[in-house]
Structure 1
Amino acid sequence: MTDFSGAGAAARANRALDPLHAMIYFAPEADEEFERVGLRRGRMAYFAGRAAPMGRVGAGVVTATFYNFHPSLVAHNIPRAWEQASVKDILAARLTAADRALRRLLGDAVDSAELAELAELARIATHELPAHGRALFAAHAELPWPDAPHLVLWHAITLLREFRGDGHVAALLDGELSGLEALITHCATGYGFTEAAAKATRGWSDDEWAAGVEALRTRGILDSDGLTAGGVALRDAIERATDRLSAAPWSTLGPDRVARAVELGRGFTTQIAANGAWPKGVFAAR
C-alpha cells in the first residue's frame, strides 16, 4: 500500500505537483510578459522573476539562494534587471504569464471543480509553514494570494517548491557540496541535466567543471565511471534529507488528502505535458 505520510508523501507530492509550477520556465507567455515590462528574455527574466519577491537584492543574494548558478552569470543580470523593470511590474508580469500559460495548457479544465479542489488542498498545505532558514520561501509567502483557483494553485505550488528548495540547499550544505559540486553529482545520477546542458544553463566553464570533478574524485565521491558507492550514498542521503525537511506541508494535510492531491496533480500534470508544457524528456525521470 502506498504511504502518503511523512517524507514519502513529500516526494510523491513534489513529483505530482511541481510540474504545474515549473511550466512557467518554459512558457512563451513568460518571455512575452517579462519583455513587455522591460526585461530581457531568458536568464534575466528567470533570475528577476524568481528573485523579485525578495526585493531589489544584489547578485550575491540571488547566487546564494539559487545555489548552483555561476556567480558571474547572476551578476550579469542582477542588479541590472531592477533598473529595467520595477519589482511590482515583474511580479505582476509573472502572475499574468502563469494565468495565460495555465489557461492555454489546461483549456476548459482551468475552471473545473477538480482544479478548484486541488487548489484548496495545496493552499491548506502551505498554512503556517515555518519560514526560518528558508529565504526564498519566506519572500514568496509574503506575496498576496491571487483570487482565481488556477492562480491559487500556481501560487501554492510555488510556495511548496521554494519551501522544498530551501530545504534542499540545507541538505546540500550538510553534505558539504558546493553549488557546482551539487550540479556535477546531480548530473552523475543520470536523473538530471546532461553535463552540456548544466554548463550551458548554469554558466560553468569546461575548466571550472573539470576542477569540480577533480575535487569530487579526491573526496571519493566520483571516479572514472561516475558516482562511487560513497557518492551514491551521499546523493541518496541528500534526497532523503530533502524529503524529510519538506514533509511539514503534507503532515498538515494528512494521508487521505495528500493521496487526493497526488491523484489530482498527476492528472493535471499529464494534461499539460500532453499540451507541450515543456520540452520532451524534461520530467521523464520524475
Structure 2
Amino acid sequence: MSHPQAKVHRMFEFVEAIGTLAFSEMPNEEFLALGMRNYWDGYFAGRAAPLGLAPAEVVHAVFYNFADGEVARHIPWVWGKTTPAEAIAVRERGSAAALRQLIGDLADSPGLVRVADLATRAAVSAPIEGRVLYAGLRALDVPEEPVARIWHAATLLREHRGDGHNAALVAHGIGGTEAHVLFALALGMRAEEFGRVQHLPKAQLAAVVDGLRGRGLVDAAGGFTAAGRETRERIEALTDELAAPAYDVLSADELDELITGLEPIAAAASTVDD
C-alpha cells in the first residue's frame, strides 16, 4: 500500500542516521588495520564493495556526487589491500558494533527483533531496476543478529533512496558537484564553506557556481534564486516519491510500528558526531 510522503521522509531521516554509521570511527579503524591509508580508502572500499571489482569510472558513475578524479585516488588501489568480500564483512562488523555501543540496553530489548524484521521486510522488497548500488546490496546475505540486521536494512533503504535521488538529479540536469552546492545553500551556507566541496580548487568550484548562476538557480551573491530553491525542493519531493515503493509491503500500522521502533535507535545513532 502507498504511504504519506511525510512518513517516507521520516524513514529517510532514520535510515540516514543508522546507515551512515558505516562511515564512523569503528569501521574506519578496522579498515585502517587492513592497511588503508586514510578514511577515504575505507569509505570507498566498504561502500563500493557490493559492486565487486568495478573500475573507478563505474564507481564514480554510481556514487554520482564526487568530483572528477576523487574515486580514482582510491579505486582500484584499495583492492590491493583487501577484497570486496572482506570489505563487506569489515564494514558490517564495524557498523554493527558502533550501533550496538550507541544504543546500549536497546540492543537487548525484546522488541528489537520485531523492528529488525519490519525494517528488513521493507529493505528487501523494493524494485531493483535502475538501482545499481541497491541491487548490489540486495545480493548480499542478510545478517541474522538483530542489531546488524537493522544496520543492514537501513543501508539498503538508504542506498535505494540514494539511487533514486541520483535519478532525480539527472532528470533535473543537476550534476554531482552542483547537487552539493544546492545542498549547502539549503543549509544556509556558501558553497565554499561546505565540507564536501570546500577542498576543490577555488576556480573549479567557482565555475560550478557560475554554471548554476547562468541557469538562473543561484543569484549574484551566491545564494538561491526562487527558481533554484524550487528546483531543489522539486528534486527532494521526487526523491521521496521514488523511495516510497520500499515501504509498500508494510501496512499503515506496520510502518507506524517501524517508525516508533526506529526513532530511539536513530536518535542514539545520530549522536555519533556530537
Fold in common (TM above 0.5): yes
Shift in Å at residue 24 of structure 1?
A: 2.4
**What do the CA deviations read for 1:116-168 (whole angstroms, capped 9, x no partner)?**
22111101112332111110000011001111011111111111001000000
Q: Match of 2:206, as an amino acid?
A: A
Query: Structure 1: which 4+ aligned runs deviate by more than 4 Å?
Result: 191-194
1:151-230 to structure 2, matched below 5 A, reads 151-190=148-187, 195-196=192-193, 197-200=195-198, 204-225=200-221, 226-230=223-227
Q: Match of 1:233, as an amino acid?
A: E
Moved more, 45-54 or 93-102: 93-102
- Unmatched runs of 5 consecutive residues or more in structure 2: none
- Per the normalisation by structure 2, the TM-score is 0.93
2:11 corresponds to: 13
Query: Which of 113, 118, 121 lines up with 2:115 in the alignment?
Result: 118
1:52 corresponds to: 49
Moved more, 236-245 or 253-262: 253-262
**What do the CA deviations read for 1:180-218 (whole angstroms, capped 9, x no partner)?**
111111111117896331225xx5321111001101111
Pick closer, same or farther for the CA change 1:228–1:75 going to 2, 3 Å: same
Query: Which of 65, 70, 75 lines up with 2:67 in the alignment?
Result: 70
Q: When the two structures are aligned, how many residues end up with a matched partner?
A: 271
- Per the normalisation by structure 1, the TM-score is 0.89
The CA distance in 1 between the partners of 2:259 and 2:192, in whole Å, is 31
Alignment identity in percent?
34
SS in 2 for 1:29: helix
The CA distance in 1 between the partners of 2:139 and 2:179, in whole Å, is 29
Matched, 1:277 2:256: no
The CA distance in 2 between the partners of 1:21 and 1:192, in whole Å, is 25
Q: Match of 2:205, as an amino acid?
A: W
Pick closer, same or farther for the CA change 1:90–1:127 going to 2, 3 Å: closer
The CA distance in 2 between the partners of 1:272 and 1:7, in whole Å, is 23
Query: Which of 64, 79, 82 lines up with 2:79 in the alignment?
Result: 82
**What do the CA deviations read for 1:73-119 (whole angstroms, capped 9, x no partner)?**
11111111111111121111111101221221122211212222211
1:284 corresponds to: none
Q: Contact between 2:125 and 2:249, CA under 8 Å: does it hold in 1? A: no
Q: Match of 1:154, as an amino acid?
A: W
Pick closer, same or farther for the CA change 1:268–1:192 going to 2, 3 Å: farther
Query: Which of 129, 133, 144 lines up with 1:132 in the alignment?
Result: 129
**What do the CA deviations read for 1:230-270 (whole angstroms, capped 9, x no partner)?**
01110011001000000012221122211121122111122
Pick closer, same or farther for the CA change 1:244–1:192 going to 2, 3 Å: farther
Query: Which of 94, 102, 105 lines up with 1:97 in the alignment?
Result: 94
Q: RMSD between aligned alpha carbons? A: 1.8
Q: Match of 2:27, as an amino acid?
A: A
Shift in Å at residue 272 of structure 1?
A: 3.2
